[in-house]
Amino acid sequence: MKNKSDLFEEWRREDEEAREIRRREANWDFIRRQPPRVRMALECFIECGDLYVAAKVAGMTVDEFNELRIKANIPVVV
């Protein structure tokens, strides 16, 4: 196993790269046109990349939120 500080640094870099990709590719016009709760959930997904958390913010199931993030052109980054 890697030591924890190396692992955390690797994860931090991965998360930042993923966040940048989501920010860059998102359809911000679409996002700004959404009702406040949905908009906040999409912005939350862009920042954290967590479908479960964002779906909760939107008041949707993960499956429903996934359809929404596709409409908003926000990629899942793996």
Partner 1 sequence: MSSASVDTCFLINWARFSERDKLKLVFDRLFMPVETFNEVKSDVALSLASRWLAKRYLVLAPTLSRDETEVTEILRIVAERPQIPSVDPPELYAFVLAKRLGIPMLTDNKAPKRITQLLPQYSSVLVFDSFDVLEMIADRGYDLASLVDKFMKETRFRFARRRLEEAGLLG
Chain residues binding partner 1 by CB under 8 A are: 1-2, 4, 7-8, 11-12, 14, 17-18, 21, 25, 48-53, 61-64, 66-67, 69-70, 73-78
Closest to partner 1 by CB, 16 or 33 = 16
50 or 59, CB closer to partner 1? 50
Closest approach of partner 1 to the CB of residue 49, in Å: 8
Q: CA–CA separation, 65 vs 50, rounded Å?
A: 11
In angstroms, rounded to a whole number, what is the distance separating the alpha carbons of residues 22 and 77? 8
What is the rounded distance in angstroms from the CA atom of residue 11 to the CA atom of residue 4?
A: 10
